[in-house]
Amino acid sequence: MSLIAPIKDHHSERQLFVARVALSSVVSVILLGFVVARLIQLQIVEHEQFSERSQGNRIRIEALAPTRGLIFDRKGRILVENVPTYQLELIPEQVADIDDTLERLAKLGLIDQQDISRFIDVSDQGPRFKPVTLRFRLSDEEIANFAVHRPRFPGVDFQPRLVRHYPHAANTAHAVGYVGAISVNDLKRLDPVAYAGTAHTGKTGIEFSQEKYLHGDPGHRQIVTNARGRQVSVDPRDAAGSILDAEAPSPGSNLYLTIDLDLQVLATELLAGRRGSIIAIDPQNGEILALVSAPSFDPNGFALGMTSSEFRVLQSDVNQPLFNRAVRGTYPPGSVIKPILSLAALQTGATNLTRRTFCRGYYTLPGSTHRYRDWRPEGHGEVDLHDAITQSCDVYFYEISRDIGIDRMHDYLTQFGLGRPTGVDVTGELPGLVPSRAWKRGAFRERADQVWFPGETVIAAIGQGYMLATPLQLANAAAALSTHGKRFTPHLVASIENPLTGERTVIQPRRLDDVKVDNAFYWENVIGAMHDVLQGPKGTARAAGANAPYEMAGKSGTAQVFTVGQEESFEQEDLDERLRDHALFIAFAPLQQPRIAVAVIVENGSSGSRIAAPMARAMMDRYLGVEDSAP
């Protein structure tokens, strides 16, 4: 008998199905529990956090750069301003063929051919909806030229903005300075929050030293963006509907300088075609009336964006137009220090007002045959201190230098501000050098080189050897001479103005320690001799002081560029121009109530009395309002 097995076991299948359904239900409930828990976490527990994140993805905060403060001269004439201009921009996503577009713009003369590759790199690196600046400033002719061809250039247009402008260009470049694009090094010292949105910062001069006042405080605006970061409007009917909130930036402070623009321009004209510097100071408060270094440059090129090739041309110029000779140029001061050494000699007893010396045209140290020559080969004959200053007798100062000594010479010269920074409110100032025994011991490694020799004192007495001074230091020393030792820190900023309220904060003069000279008659004698330099019968610069309707005082000087052998003799005109002596002159006027002190240095000018003195006279005439009195 055969057994028949059932085809399906319905009971077992039903149990298996129920078990699977139960397991699936449990898993589904668990998974749904996880989803619900996550939703609770996102929607309730962490709602505020994620709400802020989503809002941040929707809203972008953009910084608004402040308007830079203006700069005026002492009479309220504009020295630096912000002018509206148009810049040429390209939006990459709107340009089908960037290479072809740039080539065609170059053919129109709107961009340089050599800059095309740089523009392509910039457009490839940033977001394609952000504009790339092709030109910072377009002339009216260039705007008109582009406007005619604009339909051929989709995605290219010009936009308005403010740029820094220096209306007096090279006349004020070294005093005012310039702004330039923010560099990597600038970012290391600048506050990234305060400079968000700012493209330029001060690089030199007042633009750099007073950056904290000129820059201002940035503002901001909140704009609506899409997922790609592009600005969109929440209301298509409103062109400004993408801006949710905005805070306007605070403009930078306006500065009023002590500079007299008329003097500044005159000094530039006097140095035209030469290398040198002219500084004018008000002796009564240290205000700098003129600060000129020549040759100069046009700072507008830096503000508008100078190409690398244009900068290399300036930087490689043999005449160094970017070099600020006024505060960084160091020169042997030559004979202009003789009035100061005269005071030192009188104060220390190294000489007196009746001592007389016979000048035969040279001086020798005891036991030596080396001749230290006078500028006049035949000598001056018998001279006293007054004659030695008036006629600039080197031999007299050679002789008294041994009695003064280099250390006391150092002490008195530094009292007049030589050999140390003046503290002027322009950065980059060099200290110059007034040597001493202690200085030489620290300046040289070899013991033999650390010895101070008597001959070094002799040549220091006429401002040669190791001695170096800047034009600003010499002008400051001339100011101290004119006031009988009353000294101030030279400064360029007169006041700071709030552009919103018009309220001004006046910068008070900073008084320094007076020069210590016990006998007031010493001052009168030395200044009287300086007066005769310009207006006496035997003064070395009497031609420059002739016919003046006011009394003045001054001292000429020349500084050798290279050492002359004992037996060598030559005329300055026979030398290569860059081997000729530097010409120096210091002066002040009026004699009794001085209002202006001037220092002039003309590199390779040969003669202080013939070249530099007339420049100082012209500066004093202009400031005192007697321009036509010069011979």
Mean residue pLDDT of the chain comes to 87
pLDDT of residue 229: 47
pLDDT at residue 52 above 70?
A: no
Domain 58-84+162-256 matching CATH 3.90.1310.10: the answer reads yes
Angle CA 253–257–260, to nearest 5: 150
pLDDT tens for 505-540 read 999 999 999 999 989 999 999 999 999 999 999 999
Distance, in Å, from the CA atom of 281 to the CA atom of 477, rounded to the nearest integer, reads 10
Angle CA 466–469–470, to nearest 5: 145
Question: Count of CB atoms within 10 A of residue 147's CB?
Answer: 11
pLDDT of residue 410: 96
Which span out of 54-58, 256-260, 446-450 was modeled with the highest average pLDDT? Answer: 256-260
Q: Which two tokens stand for residue 610?
A: 């013939």
- Contact 232/226 with Cβ under 8 angstroms? yes
Mean pLDDT of 567-589: 76
pLDDT tens for 337-361 read 999 999 999 999 999 999 999 999 9
- Contact 487/513 with Cβ under 8 angstroms? yes
pLDDT tens for 305-334 read 776 678 888 999 999 999 999 999 999 999
pLDDT at residue 145 above 60?
A: yes
* Whether 51 is catalytic: no
Strands (E), 466-577: 487-488, 493-497, 504-506, 511-512, 553-559
Find residue 358's DSSP bridge partners: 382
Mean pLDDT of 268-287: 97
Can you tell me whether residue 479 is helix, strand or coil? helix
Residue of 277, 335, 342, 401 marked catalytic: 335
CATH architecture group of domain 262-498+506-629: 3-Layer(aba) Sandwich (3.40)
pLDDT at residue 582 above 80?
A: yes
pLDDT at residue 623 above 50?
A: yes
Distance, in Å, from the CA atom of 494 to the CA atom of 255, rounded to the nearest integer, reads 8
Per domain, the residue ranges of the chain are 58-84+162-256, 85-93+101-110+121-149, 262-498+506-629
Can you tell me whether residue 403 is helix, strand or coil? helix
pLDDT over 70 percentage in the chain:
87
pLDDT at residue 427 above 60?
A: yes
Distance, in Å, from the CA atom of 505 to the CA atom of 531, rounded to the nearest integer, reads 38
pLDDT of residue 25: 83
Confidence at 459, pLDDT banded by 50, 70, 90: very high
Confidence at 239, pLDDT banded by 50, 70, 90: very low
Mean pLDDT of 158-183: 89
Find residue 469's DSSP bridge partners: 331
- Contact 561/546 with Cβ under 8 angstroms? no
- Return all residues near 507 (Cβ < 8 A) that are at least 6 apart: 491, 493, 494, 495, 496
pLDDT of residue 259: 97
pLDDT of residue 237: 46
Distance, in Å, from the CA atom of 548 to the CA atom of 15, rounded to the nearest integer, reads 128
User: End-to-end CA distance of the chain, in Å?
Assistant: 156
pLDDT tens for 382-411 read 999 999 999 999 999 999 999 999 999 999
CA distances from 300 to 70, 83, 573 (A): 15, 12, 38
pLDDT at residue 244 above 70?
A: no
